[in-house]
């Protein structure tokens, strides 16, 4: 049962019953209107990096093949082998940075298998994800040319788990050297004259798990060794990213910072909102199934459980920041949340190793509230890459596995990222939120509203998310006592049913709409009525 705090248990005797109703009346009076005080004149606030809205693409399921890449000879409309509809969706989103080739796949990926004439490229079995055959038709050139075409900063994950120091060194040279070296000449032979000047480079991925099952004490020595030979070329400088912690593993962070802080620019942290990582047998088939729950079928309690789990990311950030501040008080090393998002059981009838899941308004409010948290810590958090961009986990875009020639579908999470473009490279504006919380269980609570604000070019953008699954809420917005300016733009993402999602045949069940349910009062404040399970963004002229 879900109840609003601070309601006490109802007892049978009259005295306690009267006390209960007195507390209830006080609570309702105090929280009838949620308050957000936005300090738009605050000084010395960081700029929200565009890279907070980064994406992740892995050779996993249909993310690359049929998702991004179909090949030049495909009947699916394409531009030099890239799906036209997906390219257009990428352009509209203005993706700032894209991580590739993994993920777990990165530490089994040998880059030289993916260059040269496609008919000569080696095939391998993708043992991490469904044991599908990887033909390497999408390799270094295909990825980096895609990024260049769309103005995306590429982020390469290097192979430490099964690769060699020499292999990694040559890959960096192949991508970034403008000399007459063997690797640079090989790149030219394969059709690329000038280097791509890749900036972001990860030295291994999840080295505590699929990237080698290492202890941190061992990985730090490997990191220092591999990093030594990942050299800079010309004026380009690598932004070197160490494989960091699984969730809140502060021991990993402590040792990594102590041993490697002078040799890295960033360190990754991975966090997924998961109900239960375990498995159980299906009562009908007896086949082991995940306990993560369904992306589409959930009750209110399960909704709040995942929302509550997603909000744990703030506590994880705080704990890692405290460790990092001991060794790096000037904040020279950045946290890179290069994998985050929701994770459910795969959709029925799909390959369990392809991690294809649907995406509802539940995921939209989780995306928005997670981005709100990242905004608050951009003095340390400099990048975040939601997992993943197409057809995998909490994706932006879905393509049809059974009928690949169908057009693509944009998910509710896609629309959140599109709405939040208003905050990209804006100055973070702190705010004070006063609202009630919804009790999930004995330990966890969910605030009914999440908020974020930024200012850019004289425009203040405010995002408000209603995490309450059932009720709309009125929010009073105050700008340090100043009058609210004219509202330049206002959008809402919502639906009558929290389970609403976009699918083939119903691609527009959830999309952004013009928002009008706000009012600027005579005293200069503004009230905004946000529907249940919704995301609202308003832009005001200062």
- 321 φ/ψ sector (left φ>0, alpha ψ -120 to 50, else beta): alpha
Collapsing DSSP to helix, strand or coil, 103 comes out as coil
Collapsing DSSP to helix, strand or coil, 452 comes out as strand
Distances (CA, A) of 125 to 99, 109, 122, 136, 355: 21, 11, 10, 11, 17
DSSP one-letter code for 518: E
In 358-469, the DSSP E strands lie at 381-387, 397-398, 409-410, 427-428, 431-434, 437-439, 445-447, 449-456, 459-466
HSE (side-chain half, CA atoms, 13 Å) at 317: 25
Catalytic residues: 206, 339
Q: How far apart are CA 424 and CA 53, in angstroms?
A: 8
Q: How far apart are CA 322 and CA 519, in angstroms?
A: 41
Q: How far apart are CA 471 and CA 484, in angstroms?
A: 26
CB 456 within 8 A of CB 47: no
Would you tell me the crossing angle of helices 84-93 and 140-150 to the nearest 10 degrees?
50
Measured in degrees and rounded to the nearest 5, phi and psi for residue 411 equal: -90, 165
Measured in degrees and rounded to the nearest 5, phi and psi for residue 208 equal: -80, -10
CA angle, 387 as apex, 334 and 74 as ends, to 5°? 125
DSSP one-letter code for 407: P
Q: How far apart are CA 19 and CA 8, in angstroms?
A: 9
Q: How far apart are CA 227 and CA 242, in angstroms?
A: 9
- Please give the radius of gyration of the chain, using alpha carbons only, rounded to the nearest integer: 24
How many CB atoms within 10 Å of residue 395? Answer: 31
Question: Tokens 């202890």 belong to which residue?
Answer: 215
Q: How far apart are CA 99 and CA 200, in angstroms?
A: 9
């Amino acid at each position: 049962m879900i109840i609003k705090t601070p309601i006490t248990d109802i007892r049978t005797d009259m005295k306690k019953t009267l006390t209960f109703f007195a507390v209830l009346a006080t609570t309702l009076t105090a929280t009838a209107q949620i308050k957000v005080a936005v300090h738009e004149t605050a000084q010395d606030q960081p700029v929200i990096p565009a890279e907070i809205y980064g994406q992740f693409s892995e050779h996993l399921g249909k993310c690359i093949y049929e998702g991004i890449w179909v090949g030049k000879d495909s009947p699916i409309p394409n531009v030099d082998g890239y799906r036209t509809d997906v390219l257009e969706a990428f352009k509209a989103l203005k993706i700032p940075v894209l991580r590739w080739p993994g993920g777990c796949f990165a530490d089994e990926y040998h880059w030289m298998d993916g260059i040269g004439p496609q008919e000569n490229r080696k095939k391998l079995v993708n043992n991490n994800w469904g044991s599908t055959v990887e033909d390497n038709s999408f390799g270094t050139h295909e990825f980096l040319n895609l990024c260049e075409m769309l103005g995306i900063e590429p982020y390469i994950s290097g192979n430490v788990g099964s690769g060699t120091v020499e292999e990694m060194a040559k890959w960096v040279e192949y991508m970034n050297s403008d000399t007459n070296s063997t690797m640079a000449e090989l790149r030219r032979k394969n059709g690329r004259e000038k280097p791509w000047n890749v900036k972001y480079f990860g030295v291994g991925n999840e080295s505590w798990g699929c990237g080698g099952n290492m202890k941190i004490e061992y990985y730090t020595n490997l990191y220092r060794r591999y990093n030594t030979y990942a050299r800079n070329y010309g004026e380009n400088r690598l932004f070197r990213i160490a494989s960091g912690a699984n969730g809140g593993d502060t021991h990993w962070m402590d040792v990594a910072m102590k041993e490697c802080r002078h040799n890295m620019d960033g360190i990754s942290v991975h966090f997924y909102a998961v109900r239960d990582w375990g498995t159980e047998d299906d009562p009908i088939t007896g086949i082991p199934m995940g306990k993560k729950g369904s992306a589409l079928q959930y009750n209110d309690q399960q909704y709040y459980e995942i929302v509550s789990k997603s909000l744990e990311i703030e506590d994880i950030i705080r704990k890692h920041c405290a460790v990092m501040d001991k060794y790096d008080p000037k904040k020279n090393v950045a946290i890179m949340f290069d994998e985050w998002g929701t994770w459910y059981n795969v959709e029925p009838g799909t390959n369990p190793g392809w991690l294809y899941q649907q995406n509802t308004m539940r995921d939209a409010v989780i995306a928005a509230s997670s981005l709100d948290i990242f905004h608050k810590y951009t003095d340390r958090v400099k990048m975040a890459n939601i997992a993943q961009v197409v057809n995998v986990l909490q994706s932006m875009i879905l393509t049809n596995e059974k009928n690949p020639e169908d057009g693509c579908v944009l998910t509710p999470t896609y629309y959140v990222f599109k709405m939040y473009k208003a905050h990209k490279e804006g100055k973070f504006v702190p705010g004070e939120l006063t609202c009630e919380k919804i009790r999930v269980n004995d330990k966890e609570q969910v605030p009914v509203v999440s908020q974020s604000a930024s200012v850019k070019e004289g425009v203040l953008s405010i995002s408000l998310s209603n995490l309450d699954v059932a009720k709309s809420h009125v929010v009073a917005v105050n700008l340090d006592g100043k009058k609210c300016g004219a509202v330049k733009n206002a959008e809402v993402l919502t639906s009558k049913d929290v389970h609403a999602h976009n699918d083939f045949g119903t691609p527009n069940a959830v999309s952004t709409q013009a928002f009008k349910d706000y009012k600027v009062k005579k005293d200069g404040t503004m009230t905004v009525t946000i529907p249940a399970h919704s995301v609202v963004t308003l832009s005001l002229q200062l």
